[in-house]
Amino acid sequence: MKAIHGAEVARRDVLKAAGLFAMSTAVGLQGGHAEAQQGVVPFSSGTEPPKTSVPEGACDSHIHIFSRQFPASSHWKGEPVIDSDVPAYRSFQKRIGTSRVVVVTPSTYGVDNRATLDGVAQFGNSARAVVVVDLDISDAELTQMAAKGAVGIRVNFVTSQSWGVTTAERLETMARKVHPLGWHVQVYMTGDQIADLQSILSRLPTPVVIDHIARLPPAQGVNHRAYKAVRKLLDGGRTWMKLSGAYLNTASGPPNYADATEVAKAFAKAAPERMVWGSDWPHRGEKHMPDDAGLFDLLAQWTPDETARKKILVDNPRQLYGFL
């Protein structure tokens, strides 16, 4: 396959950005339009609410906030910044029924956490932040971010980072750095990376949160070697998992995401007391926006017991993220 020239990549990204911006404008990106009030949510398909009941205080534990007020990091060569901001996400909350949220700094912004912390400030006490920081971050800077709602850091092994390749040494160093604050470390890793680094993850001084159902290859699912590694981490009592990103872990696709569902059900059954749910809104990189009500309804398949779902949506986020 021929390599795509850099200019063509840039042109493609600009066209994609323009298309997404037009789409978001059409559905009322600022959240106050009649369309949003009728159930249309920017960067989401469908208009109906979930069929599954949503308990009071339910938390969406994984979203990203983007604003053109804050430009992308110079390292980022992917999809440009497009406004997917707090007013837009409030229309998501109105449709789905969640009221608490965790904003995670995306790779797009590198170690610039301004969009994330600005979003949390707008949401107020109903929001927390998971930030991305570099090795030279000072204790004073971490303390300042804690005062603004930060409760953890994300260490990403999968997508492009401003420092280059993420190493196990960086992971351990950063965990030791944030441990005095009582923060957790959220890791975004493929299944193979989790299996390779299981022993390191198990000895980190902080709680560990695994992103997106551990990114097990759909063709193998629970038969992949990472399944046993993750189960061992969960059984250790200090590892949590985000039940999120079904569309990142599927070959069978919507609406049931059967392959991702098999994996999610197994993990949720193993440690329901340390599962949290996330939408991954605004679904960056997806050509076809998922139906967020449908994604929420998957949780009823993954965790049929209503009491366990309340733990995942309310009690577990309260414990992990410190909601009052």
Domain boundaries, the chain: 6-321
Dihedrals phi, psi of 300, to nearest 5 degrees: -70, -30
Query: Tell me, what's the pLDDT at 39?
Result: 74
Q: What is the DSSP string of 279-303?
A: --TT-TT-SS--BHHHHHHHHHHH-
Helix (H, G, I), strand (E, B) or coil at 39: coil
Please, are residues 112 and 73 in contact by the beta-carbon 8 Å criterion? Answer: yes
Q: What is the DSSP string of 3-28?
A: PPPHHHHHHHHHHHHHHHHHHHHHTT
Q: Rounded to whole angstroms, how far apart are CA atoms 61 and 151?
A: 12
pLDDT digits over 53-110, tens only?
999 999 999 999 999 999 999 999 999 999 999 999 999 999 999 999 999 999 999 9
Contacts of 261 (CB under 8 A, 6+ apart): 246, 298, 301, 302
Q: What is the mean pLDDT of the chain?
A: 90
16-52 pLDDT tens trace: 444 443 444 343 333 333 444 567 899 999 999 999 9
pLDDT at 38: 62
Please work out, in degrees rounded to the nearest 5, the angle formed at the alpha carbon of residue 181 by the alpha carbons of 175 and 183.
Answer: 55
| CATH number of this structure's domain 6-321 | 3.20.20.140
Residue 302 to residues 124, 276, 289, 307, Cα–Cα distance (Å):
30, 12, 21, 13
pTM, two decimals, is 0.88
Give the integer Cα–Cα distance in Å for 246 and 159.
18
DSSP string, 78-114: SSPP--B-HHHHHHHHHHH---EEEEE--GGGTT--H
**Angle between helical axes of 225-235 and 258-270 (0-180°, round to 10):** 30
The pLDDT value recorded for residue 11 is 39
Residues of the chain predicted below pLDDT 70: 1-38
The strand pairing partners of 187, in sequence order, are 155, 210
Task: Please list the helix, strand and coil fractions of the chain in percent, rounded to the nearest 5, in that order.
Answer: 45, 15, 40
